[in-house]
Homo-oligomer: A and B are copies of this chain.
């Protein structure tokens, strides 16, 4: 006879989902209806969420972390990894000693643009993967160091190398470095009730960039050396990024000098990929790109960033 409801609100961002999906035989939504709903969804998202990344004073509890996961919002904890052996000990000399001439996978691009959208000479946009090679770790590291030491004007024509495998590489090619990393990040392990699917080490320099993309993983990112600049968009802002199916291609060395040229992967299917770049916001805009409010942050040594899935 008597149901009782105790209701509690949580911001899941659902109020921002466009309601465009009725498809009754007699009442097709028009493109204009769809567009208006998308505009409202993005505006509502920004009304309910700040345009900044939360900075926490200390690591969250598993429950506090899960509140961020459920709301799909990032946060930073400065210096939370300051006591990791990796943060304390890793420098070029130490890494050389541990890794020596171990073969590692390296991506090579002319401009640091790994997995990037590139316009070919005909104005056709392509999704271009880097040239992939392997080389001894100490040679790779020397190349990256020399590149960083090189004056900017002398780097023209010099390829960019970036170690950026995402195949759990600290359990494989970099396993000699694994003891320098905690065996898990407890707040994430407890909250999600599982170990990390992958632990990856990436090594690059200031010229390494990664194109705007989305991953289907909850990601806890730790900066060990140097800095990294992040630009984040919420999934609600997907209409801003002008995702398009792009023909696939890759860089390949050509001729005696081994200059990298783009080769089309003619048998590969087109890949849907963001073509709008928040750092070149007036190019390849959609009607919604102007509504995007990218979240930006720069990580320093020992800083930890929670990057929500997607």
Contacts and interface: CB of A to CB of B under 8 A. Distances in A.
User: Could you say how many copies of this chain the assembly holds?
Assistant: 2
A126 interface: no
A46 to B, nearest CB: 16
Interface stretch (A17-25, A113-121, A252-260): A17-25
Nearest to A225: B1
A6 interface: yes
A82 interface: no
Which size class do A's interface residues fall under?
35 or more
Interface stretch (A131-139, A151-159, A201-209): A201-209
A14 B235 contact: yes
A223 B4 CA distance: 6
A24 B243 CA distance: 9
A122 interface: no
Nearest to A310: B14
A185 B243 CA distance: 43
Contacts of A101: none
A93 interface: no
Contacts of A21: 38, 238-239, 243, 288
A228 B3 CA distance: 8
Contacts of A205: 1
Contacts of A222: 3-6
Contact of A194 (B8, B184, B225): B8
